[in-house]
Amino acid sequence: MDHRIRRVAAIHDLSGFGRASLTAIIPTLSSMGVQVCPLPTAILSNHTGGFEHYSFVDLTDTMEDYIDHWKRLGLTFDCLYSGFLGSERQIEIVGRFIDHFGTADNLTVVDPVMGDNGRLYSTMGPAMVGEMRRLIGKADMITPNFTEAALLLGESYRDRISDEEIRDWLRRLSAMGPSTVVITSVPGVRLPGQETGMDTHVIAYDRRGDVFWKTGCRYIPAAYPGTGDTFTSVVIGGLLQGDSLPVAIDRGVQFISQCIRASYGFDYPKREGVLLERELDILRLPVLTGGFEML
């Protein structure tokens, strides 16, 4: 009998408060039956989305020794998954990590965490954008949000985009390396008089089949930090269970929508993130899809 549990190397920061990065990724993937091995990039008292103050310890200098021990242990991973990086210098280290631990069979996912809502996060400088462009060249799949996709492409941020333009963005991002590109928080086209009730979409491109997938959810006027990390974790958990790409992104969108709906009715600061702990059990249910279409 095979005792093997799927294993992910998770290269992200540990933020002590606010349900982002590792504190969202570990419970999400664990609930989907996946082992998470964290390679921390930085330690923060709390994430930077919506909090003015935070302590920040950059772990760049510890990472290489940490990785050397993993090499000595002969560890292998079904997925390499990087996200928030603490310094530009870490890109070189993460690149070498992917060169060593990446294989033809495992999945390398780079979530180019840099900003949201048209702005860079406060720990990120413009140099990070250039470095991140290099790192995505090593990925099989990337999951930028709409802001990060624009930054990677050198496009200006906008609050609407046509189907034709977003297809062009996806193709251009894929030409930078990854065969699969998933862009989240893509604004839907606003119809006159529909300033609210607008849909937001996740749009994916699979270069091998030259196919685009679109799945959406109803717009809720609330942004909770950390939902991008949870979304990508659900997609990875789905793919490692054998989901197709559209089923995996649909699973991610449904889960995030459910988390937001379960949280929105409560009056607490959005910066604390969605009430993930209330919803994790859903991840063990068989997936019921139906929300995706070809674009």
State the residues that interact with ligand PXL by CB under 6 A: 13, 15, 20-21, 44, 47-49, 84, 113, 121, 225-226, 228-229
Euclidean distance between CA atoms 182 and 232, whole angstroms: 9
Task: Choose between 148 and 206: whose C-beta lies nearer to ligand PXL.
Answer: 148
Which residues is 11 bridged to in the sheet?
82
Q: How far is the CB of 200 from ligand PXL (least distance, A)?
A: 17
Q: Give whichever of 36 and 247 is closer to ligand PXL, judged by the CB atom.
A: 36
Which residues, other chains included, contact 111 with Cβ-Cβ below 8 Å and sequence gap of 6+? 81, 82, 83, 142, 143, 144, 228, 229, 232
Least distance to ligand PXL from the beta carbon of 19, Å?
A: 9
CB of 14 to ligand PXL, least distance (A): 9
Residue closer to ligand PXL (CB basis): 31 or 230? 230
The helix/strand/coil state of 88 is coil
The nearer residue to ligand PXL, 81 or 292, going by C-beta atoms, is 81
* C-alpha count within 13 angstroms, C-beta hemisphere, residue 44: 25
153/150 Cα distance (integer angstroms): 5
Query: At closest approach, how far in Å is the CB of 12 from ligand PXL?
Result: 7
Looking at beta carbons only, is 225 or 246 nearer to ligand PXL? 225
Q: How far is the CB of 151 from ligand PXL (least distance, A)?
A: 14
Nearer to ligand PXL, 180 or 233 (CB): 233
Contact status, residue 18 vs residue 47, Cβ threshold 8 Å: yes
> What whole-number distance in Å separates Cα of residue 291 and Cα of residue 256?
13
CB neighbours (10 Å) of residue 2?
Answer: 4
- The closest of 240, 188, 180, 239 to 213, measured between CA atoms, is 180
Element (H, E) at 10: strand 7-11
Q: How far is the CB of 191 from ligand PXL (least distance, A)?
A: 31
Distance (Å, rounded) from C-alpha 239 to C-alpha 6? 11
Report the nearest approach of ligand PXL to the CB of residue 56 (Å).
8
Cβ nearer to ligand PXL, comparing 20 with 256: 20
| C-beta nearest to ligand PXL: residue | 49
